Amino acid sequence: MNECKDKILQTVLKRPVTMMQLTTSVSCAAETVQKYIQEFEKAGKISSKKSKFKIFYNPKLELKKIEFFKIMLNPTVSSVVKIMLGSSEITQIELSQINQKSLPSISRALSLLVSNNFVQVNYYAPGKSWSIIDKDQILSFMRETHPNQFSSHHYN
């Protein structure tokens, strides 16, 4: 197998990637990457999922991890998760202040995380807060899908 072809396959099998991430990480021409991606998909060596960006991944990877990767491509969601890993529970206002994002942006991020069962709402009078349902699972997903962005020792 030639060097580009081998790098592409190894990168995709290691962790999910978008086309832009893949092209950048393997340092090959976009046309070359596209050619080999199509070849690997036809052979069943890799899979892809279309969302805002097309995501390429190891066919043996759990669908929940692919969904996690997909929603973590959103910078607001990603920063909310990072902050939430450092606390037991947090309010939307606190997240907004720490992130310096609008309340509607934080609300959309939290809704997405809740709908994917990564975050839960904790109701108390007169308000509510949010917390990660399973921090160990999130850290595991991060190690497998975003190894360059996260290190678990910051969140234990």
140: CATH: 1.10.10.10
Q: Is the pLDDT of residue 29 over 50?
A: yes
The larger pLDDT score, comparing residue 107 to residue 153, is at: 107
Question: Do 51 and 73 belong to one domain?
Answer: no
How many domains are contained in the chain? 2
Give one word for 30, left, alpha or beta, with left for phi > 0 and alpha for psi -120 to 50: alpha
Confidence (pLDDT) at 153: 42
Residue at a domain's end among 40, 59, 78: 59
Question: Do 18 and 94 belong to one domain?
Answer: no
**In 3D, which of 79, 64, 74, 73 has the Cα closest to residue 118?**
64
Q: Give the domain range for residue 118.
A: 68-154
**In 3D, which of 54, 108, 50, 53 has the Cα closest to residue 76?**
108
| For residue 147, cis peptide bond before it (omega within 30 degrees of 0) | no
Rounded to an integer, the average pLDDT of 126-137 is 93
Question: Do 120 and 143 belong to one domain?
Answer: yes
138-151: pLDDT as tens digits: 999 998 888 776 55
62-110: pLDDT as tens digits: 889 999 999 999 999 999 999 999 999 999 999 999 999 999 999 999 9
Residue at a domain's end among 22, 42, 59: 59
Question: Do 75 and 129 belong to one domain?
Answer: yes
Question: Do 55 and 72 belong to one domain?
Answer: no
Residue at a domain's end among 59, 80, 105: 59
First to last CA, the chain: 41
Give one word for 117, left, alpha or beta, with left for phi > 0 and alpha for psi -120 to 50: left
Question: Do 95 and 43 belong to one domain?
Answer: no
Cα–Cα distance, 93 to 124 (Å, whole number): 15
